[in-house]
Chains A and B, each alone.
Chain A
Amino acid sequence: MSHPTNREPATVNRGPATVDPEPGTTNPGPGTRDQKPGTKNQDPQTTGRSLTKVFDKPDLLLKGEHSLCPGCGEPVALRIILELIQDLELRERTICVAGIGCYTAFPMIMDVDVMQALHGRAPSVATGVKRVRPDAFVFTMQGDGDMISEGLQEVLHSAARGEQFTAIVFNNAVFGETGGHMTAATVLGQHTKTTVGGRDRTRHGNPIKISELVAQLDGTAYVARAAVHTPSALKLTKQYLHDAFRSQLDGKGFSLVEILTMCPTDWFVPPDQGPAFLETHLTPTYPLGVIKAD
């Protein structure tokens, strides 16, 4: 790419590539290394062994690390979003409008233009953006607290107007940033610091299924619910995001992708149990799949 970049040269991903051995050394080929079991690979510069890079962070991610909790699903979702923008060559047209939540740490590591909005207000800000920059590729990034609690009417009105942007909501069914409090998407029975003993229908009300709600509105062209807790779910997430982005690029109307993300910290489970918790606790209320596609 010829454009100026924020990226340090060392972080540029050159894609799957072979690391050349030191000149003059012989590459013994795969399967011949005398590495002890359980030890890390040696520096190819000193061993002369050939390593193939099969996976890396996307170019548009400026740092290979994030500041969120271990086991968090949001960085996984971010990586997929940035991979797609890269795959579709949308970087120079992209404007992200970010809400307020743990993911507010992302704009500074995303190599695309970002407008930071207030809690709940991203769809209205994105409306203003897209109306004055109709050629831009615009997406919002909100959490369930941001979109479904604080800013519900903003997303509903934007969808009803058929605004030509893609709304992405990371739904972990809890206020993660404040430390584990009930949102409008907390599922029945879920323990939070404000639903001690579990969310109870009569005391705390019922969770809102944002995707089904938005899908009812005539301005909506595409709605899907995805998740990032298994490799196959990740693949589908990327497919749904792709279809939502295409829907926007084809001018079909408003699109929304709800992505269920792990929040082991505020689900009060160990990080490695996040995916299983998502499957058992969230997907019964929030079934995955395409809900509307025009």
Chain B
Amino acid sequence: MERVLMEGSAAMAEAAIQAECRFYAGYPITPSTEILEYMSVRLPQVGGTCMNAESEIEAIGMVWGAAGCGVRSMIASTGQGISLMQESFAELANAQIPVVAVNMCRGQGDYFQATRGGGHGDYRFIVLAPASAQEAADLAQLAFHLADKWRNPVLIMGDFLLSHTSEIVTFRPGAYPAPAPKPWAITGAKERRAITLSPLGPSEKLSTDIAATLTAVTGKHAAIRAEEVRAETGHLEDADLVVVAFGFPGRFVKYAVRLARAQGLRVGFVRPITLWPFPTQVISSAAERAKAIAVFELNAGQMVEDVQLAVRGRVPVHSIGGISHDHSGFGVGPLLSVEHILRRIQDVYPRSGGAA
């Protein structure tokens, strides 16, 4: 298969097109703009439509319309723009319209926004966190598959480094089955009954069973939790300290763990690939054996709360990340370095009983 050198943002956009995404709307904002640029060139080549919308709110409205017609559709922004879309996000989930959204974050401060959501009501987004351009491409394909499979929006949470780092990528267009028919989609009532696609009530005309509509949305959550958890793990079998990190920083942690083990420290790692559903069981099992858990994230401490819920107080949970930005505020700061991470791993490594 062909190997190409691409930035993570372009890899994600190309993978989306190969997954039959045919509609994209976006508003320029660093560091997600490259996806919009790529789509504006590539989508028309395959008969698709790319809209340079006048605002994030209008962009998500356009994606709503296209996706509601059954066309695979995508939107990207960064946290600020994603904030503007939250009302629509909540209602897209309630209307069970499958869209794929990308948040190319500045830092990792949008973890709560991604996993809790800023919208109203009972809803969840499936959240995927790639750590490389290759994984960005793979997860973009998976995102469209999962969105259709569950009729639920999927958010891909990337970051500045992922968006702008060029890496070797191989595309695997046939990784998932072709999209299934979408009888819920709005097409015009040709040779079928007329329907409504709404976050407020049922599809059937003359029906008012709103509670059943909303219960159908939340009723999927347990099944998604059971089936869709994904995580990469390493050295959990003998780890006294398990470090949890997601996204691009997860790669730095993986390398720091390797250096720590070379120094004789029994350290393992968990890299959640799905932030929702969160790999609670993976971390809970790791906490059975480990003496401590550490969480490295580029924010003031958000995912650490999900880790604490998994650990349930059995061992100490240390937050070893922090806020770290470059001078522009868009990129990553000095904290994202293997030396820093290794030092913090050494600082929290459980000495009594540890091998060091």
Interface residues of A (CB under 8 A from B): 3-6, 62-63, 91-95, 97, 104, 107-118, 121, 123-133, 136-137, 153-154, 157
Chain B residues with Cβ below 8 Å from A62 are 205-206
Q: Is B345 an interface residue (CB 8 A)?
A: no
Contact B188 A6 (CB under 8 A): no
Task: Chain A residues near B25: list those with CB within 8 A.
Answer: 128
A108-B208, A118-B88 known; A129-B193 Cβ under 8 A: no
B66 interface hit (Cβ, 8 Å): yes
Q: CA–CA, A6 to B102, complex, Å?
A: 39
B190 and A128 within 8 A (CB): no
Q: How far is the CB of B350 from chain A (nearest CB, A)?
A: 51
**A127/B51 in contact, CB under 8 A:** yes
Residues in A whose Cβ lies below 8 Å from that of B49? 131-132
Shortest distance from the beta carbon of A62 to any chain B beta carbon, whole Å: 6
State A3–B180 Cα separation when bound (angstroms): 23
Q: Could you write out 30 A-B pairs with CB less than 8 Å apart?
A: A62-B206, A92-B188, A94-B189, A95-B188, A97-B65, A108-B205, A108-B207, A108-B208, A114-B196, A115-B196, A115-B197, A117-B64, A121-B58, A124-B57, A124-B64, A127-B61, A127-B62, A128-B61, A128-B63, A128-B64, A128-B66, A128-B67, A129-B68, A131-B51, A131-B62, A131-B66, A132-B66, A153-B54, A154-B61, A157-B54
Considering the chains assembled together, what is the distance between the CA atoms of A218 and B201 in angstroms?
Answer: 37
- Which residues of A lie under 8 Å from residue B62 when comparing CB positions? 124-125, 127-128, 131
CB within 8 A of A115: which of B53, B65, B206? Answer: B65
CA distance A94 to B57 in the complex (A): 25
B194 CB-CB contact with A under 8 Å: yes
B323 proximal to A (CB < 8 A): no
Residues of B within 8 A of A109 (CB): 205-206
Given A121-B57, A128-B65: A133 and B194 within 8 A (CB)? no
Contact mask for chain B residues 187-222; partner A; CB cutoff 8 A; 1 contact, 0 none: 111111111111111001111100000000000000
Total CB contacts across the A-B interface at under 8 A: 157
B205 touches A113 (CB 8 A): no
A136 vs B66: C-alpha distance in the bound complex, in angstroms?
Answer: 12
Type the 1/0 row for B162-197, where 1 means its CB is closer than 8 Å to any CB of A. 000000000000000000000000111111111111
If A125-B61, A125-B68 touch, whether A133 touches B206 (CB-CB below 8 Å) is no
Q: Which of A110, A136, A157 contacts B188 (CB 8 A)?
A: A136
**B37 CB-CB contact with A under 8 Å:** no
Which B residues lie within 8 Å of A104 (CB)?
Answer: 200
Interface residue B95 (Cβ < 8 Å from any Cβ of A): yes
Q: How far is the CB of B72 from chain A (nearest CB, A)?
A: 10
| B205 CB, nearest partner CB in chain A, Å | 4
The reply to whether B186 and A124 form a contact with Cβ atoms under 8 Å apart is no
Q: How large is the interface on B (under 10, 10 to 19, 20 to 34, 35 or more residues)?
A: 35 or more
- The answer to whether A129 and B206 have CB atoms under 8 Å apart is no
Which of B58, B69, B197 contacts A124, CB < 8 Å?
Answer: B58
Which residues of B253-278 are within 8 A (CB) of A? none
- Cα A3 to Cα B60 with chains together (Å): 33
Closest to A119 in B: B87
> Which of chain A's residues has its CB closest to B48's CB?
A132
Q: Give the A-binding residues of B (Cβ under 8 A).
A: 22-23, 25, 49, 51, 53-55, 57-69, 71, 73, 87-88, 91, 95, 186-201, 204-208
- Are the CB atoms of B196 and A107 closer together than 8 Å? yes
Chain B residues with Cβ below 8 Å from A110 are 194, 205
Complex: how many Å from CA A168 to CA B71? 25
CB distance from B272 to the nearest CB of A (A): 31
Report B-chain residues with C-beta under 8 Å of the C-beta of A153.
54-55, 58
Expressed in whole angstroms, the Cα–Cα distance for A5 and B60 within the complex equals 32
Q: Are A6 and B51 in contact (CB under 8 A)?
A: no
Q: Among B61, B67, B190, which residue has the most Cβ atoms of chain A within 10 A?
A: B61
User: For residue B59, which residue of chain A has the nearest CB?
Assistant: A124
Given the interface pairs A109-B205, A157-B58, the reply to whether A129 lies near B191 with Cβ below 8 Å is no
Q: How far is the CA of A115 from the CA of B199 in the complex (A)?
A: 9
- Closest partner residue, chain A, to B208 (CB atom): A108
Task: Give the complex CA separation of A153 and B186 in angstroms.
Answer: 25
Give Cα A116–Cα B201 distance, bound, in whole angstroms. 10
Given contacts A116-B198, A121-B57, A128-B25, contact A3 B65 (CB under 8 A): no
Other contacts beyond A129-B69, A132-B71: 6, CB < 8 A: A93-B188, A114-B194, A118-B91, A128-B23, A128-B69, A132-B49
Q: A129-B69, A153-B55 are in contact. Are A116 and B95 (CB under 8 A)?
A: yes
Q: Do A116 and B199 touch across chains, with their CB atoms under 8 A apart? A: yes
Q: Which residues of B sit under 8 angstroms from A125, Cβ to Cβ? A: 61-62, 64-65, 68
Choose from A121, A132, A154 the contact partner of B23 (Cβ within 8 Å): A132
List 10 tightest A-B contacts by C-beta distance, closest first.
A128-B65, A124-B61, A116-B198, A128-B66, A128-B62, A125-B65, A129-B65, A92-B190, A121-B61, A6-B205
A110 to B188, alpha carbons, bound, how many Å?
A: 12
Which chain B residues lie closer than 8 Å to A127 at the CB level?
Answer: 51, 58, 61-62, 65
For residue A154, which residues in chain B have a CB less than 8 angstroms away from its CB?
A: 57-58, 61
Q: A6 contacts B193, CB within 8 Å?
A: yes
B193 and A95 form a contact (CB under 8 A) = no
A236 vs chain B, min Cβ distance (A): 28
Say which residue of B88, B200, B201, B208 sits within 8 Å of A121 (CB atoms). B88
Task: Give every chain B residue within 8 A of A133 (Cβ-Cβ).
Answer: 69, 187-188
A112 adjacent to B189 (CB under 8 Å)? yes
- The interface residues of chain B lying within 8 Å CB-to-CB of A92 are 188-191
CB distance A131 to B205 under 8 Å? Answer: no
Q: How far is the CB of A117 from chain B (nearest CB, A)?
A: 7
Chain A hits for B199, CB < 8 A: 116
A121 to B191, CA, bound (A): 29
- Is the Cβ of A108 less than 8 Å from the Cβ of B196? yes
Contact assessment for A129 and B66 in the assembled complex, using a CB-CB cutoff below 8 Å:
yes
Name the distance in Å between B163's Cβ and chain A's nearest Cβ.
25
Contact indicator A3/B200 (Cβ below 8 Å): no
